[in-house]
Amino acid sequence: MALYEFMFAQKHVQCSQLLVTNEDFQVEERRENLRDTIADLLSLGVLPILNENDVISTGKLPCRDSNGKVLWDNDSLSMLVSIELGVELMILLSDVEGKIFSVMF
């Protein structure tokens, strides 16, 4: 996070880290809180940096909720956040080979 803060500060952009877990996408109230938090940060001109909370995430294999959503790394996290926010386009730069996500809305 220190590197992100340093780099964005060069362009006078504040950022804030949000740590998420599977449960943040499985429970509607938590999904709503996440959407509201991201919207609030953006309205204040703060760039949210989302990351899986590795400290309390227990699953090493993909986890699926009742809607078939999965969270097992930051690549899948970006897909889930894009769905929750209803973005029209997500561009993912990754160093993980072979990951292709196809999302139908």
Three-state DSSP state, 22: coil
Give the residue with greater pLDDT, 54 vs 39: 39
pLDDT tier, 87 (very low <50, low <70, confident <90, very high otherwise): confident
> Structural domain boundaries of the chain?
2-85
DSSP single-letter state for residue 70: B
Whole-structure pTM value: 0.72
Q: What are phi and psi of 50, to 5 degrees?
A: -95, 140
| Average pLDDT for 52-65 | 62
Q: Give the pLDDT of residue 105.
A: 43
Report residue 42's pLDDT band, with 50, 70 and 90 as the boundaries: very high
